[in-house]
Amino acid sequence: MADDFAPRTASAYLDPSYWDERFGKEEHYEWFKDFSHFRHLLAPLLSSSISVLEVGCGNSRLGEELLREGVAGGITCVDLSPVAVQRMLDRLAEQGTKGVEVVVADMLDLPFERESFDLVIEKGTMDVLFVDSGDPWNPNPATVDNVMKMLEGIHKVLKPEGIFVSITFGQPHFRRRFFEAPGFTWSVEWSTFGDGFHYFFYTLKKGKRSLESNDNQHTLPAAPSINMFHEELESEDYIFRTNVDEL
């Protein structure tokens, strides 16, 4: 769903009123593709006993997809928008779907105890923090602070050997500086999916960080020579800075 009135600052996206208005009109939208496009990457991380937290669920159907995959240890979906949460609760009740809890929560201040979840998933949620971030090699301090708050909260609620999955536009040479900050104990791996434009699927395994695991990661691409803004890329309705080597 393209949105002609989408805000162009990260702070606007952190205001629930934008999302309340959007989700009041919109039935369903999957940021960065639906489950079928990355099932081959996520399914191996699932089991019947794990507990899952989805950060920034919006009106996605990912929670129901995880139930269909056999996840029975508890699925919690959170969103900043009370409208999105209520509409999802209504949809689940109408379907008679049980096993998914939906909660109003801020991704920068997750209201859960330490070590509560085996798996945390965000799909496009962190990307809103990078809107108007400035130079992608040196993001502005507000962007850095917010991204670190989000990651610190996720690291806290993950169990000791839990896994964080981040599905994003963000390329490794921009995301690793955050994922590999000194306070985190997770290893960092990534894959891509998508035709034409590739999305990144990061797998961060808590307690697995080591010099060896980092050294064995994919070779980083050379620094891009051109920075371009792409608006409405893949029908997503906010601006991201995408870096390319060639036109």
209-241: pLDDT as tens digits: 976 444 444 443 444 433 333 333 444 444 343
Please, which residues have CB within 8 angstroms of residue 4's CB and are 6 or more apart in sequence? none
pLDDT at 242: 36
pLDDT at 216: 41
pLDDT at 211: 61
Please indicate whether residue 196 or residue 173 has the higher confidence score (pLDDT): 173
User: What is the percent of the chain with per-residue pLDDT over 90, rounded to a whole number?
Assistant: 66
pLDDT at 200: 97
Enumerate the H helices of 96-217 as residue ranges: 141-157, 172-179, 211-215
pLDDT at 102: 97
Q: How far is CA 137 from CA 61, 116, 170, 209, 229, in A?
A: 34, 33, 12, 24, 15
State the Rg of the chain over Cα. Answer: 17
Gap between the Cα atoms of 164 and 203, Å rounded: 6
**Least confidently predicted of 117-121, 130-134, 147-151:** 130-134
137 pLDDT higher than 80: yes
- pLDDT tens-place string over residues 187-200: 999 999 998 778 99
In terms of Cβ atoms closer than 10 Å to its own Cβ (0-12, 13-18, 19+), residue 245 is: exposed
- pLDDT tens-place string over residues 56-100: 999 899 999 999 999 999 999 999 999 999 999 999 999 999 999
3 pLDDT higher than 50: no
Q: What type of residue is 235?
A: S
